Amino acid sequence: MKEYHHEFAEYLFHTPSEFEKNGGLWIIRAGQNRAKSNYQVGPRVIECYSVHAVITGSVSLLHGNETVQLRKGDLFCLYPGIRYSYHLAQANDDQQLRMYWLAFQGNQAESFLTRIGFSKEKPYVNQRWMPEHSQTMNRIHNMLRVRAEYDEVILQLKLYQLFESLIGKKEEQTKSPANIDWLERCKQYMDTHYMEGIAVTNVAKIAGVHRSHLYQECIRLLGFSPMQYLIKLRMEKSIELLNDGEINITDIALSIGYPDVYSFSRAFSRYYGMSPKQYQSGERARSKHIR
């Protein structure tokens, strides 16, 4: 670490590759420090997100009109464009203040921070940093420090690994956005996997509710039962593929989750009042007429 006026510190700057920036999260800079007795940072604002981990000692963070003292194992986060400052909490502390930090950007940044427990109103969490987090951070630092150690895939992996492990115990996540709306979760599941032959039992399992309750809530909020919604998605996709004209009916049936062309044709006829072949013939006729 290099000596500065108020600290001993190592600053590691990173220019993310296009591969990293195509993800939802990427590193801008990282580092570590040991504070001197006159340690003070800010007031200032930064352009990215930056999570700081207190390894030893204590630090006072000023955010808004509140000052909070943070100790070993605590974390605080700086948000872009928000004024902040922090300083050594106790000059005569038994242990010298040491911190790690990691600055990053990406459209998943705030989502991860929320899951960890940060917010702009309360940008800190207590007793979250563990020895295994230091090991992961040291690996990240080493890849930024030594060019020969840098691997964009492993760097991304370690970044996500660090954030996932900071989220904490499962019971702490019960109020996270991902767990609030089980029906929306089911809809997203059906929207994503309807071509894979999923059944209502699969959807009920994702929901974690009884099949009858799933049926009632889907009717009430979506206007369709789960099966009706799956059929709707498959039929709309089948029309798209039939209009394309490059895929035969058997391949369309298998592509959208039906076991064979016969079950697909029956479902299509019930839904549209004509067979796939009749629809395709009519579409060709219309196309010729337009030309």
Q: Model confidence over 218-277: pLDDT tens digits?
A: 888 888 899 999 999 999 999 999 998 888 999 999 999 999 999 999 999 999 999 999
Beta strands in the chain (DSSP E): 2-3, 7-13, 26-35, 40-44, 49-56, 58-63, 66-71, 75-78, 84-88, 98-105, 124-125
Q: Which is nearest to 209 in space by CA: 245, 174, 182?
A: 182
Q: What is the DSSP letter of 171?
A: G
Prediction pTM value: 0.64
DSSP-assigned beta bridge partners for residue 51: 77, 102
What's the mean per-residue pLDDT of the chain? 88
| Exposure letters 4-19 (e unless 16+ CB within 10 A, then b) | eebbebeebebebeee
d(CA 246, CA 84): 60
Give the pLDDT score at 289: 42
Query: CB of 75 within 8 A of CB of 163?
Result: no
Model confidence pLDDT, tens digit, residues 54-73 = 999 999 999 988 999 999 99
Say which amino acid occupies 159: L
Which residue numbers in the chain have pLDDT < 70?
91-94, 168-180, 283-291
Give the pLDDT score at 221: 82
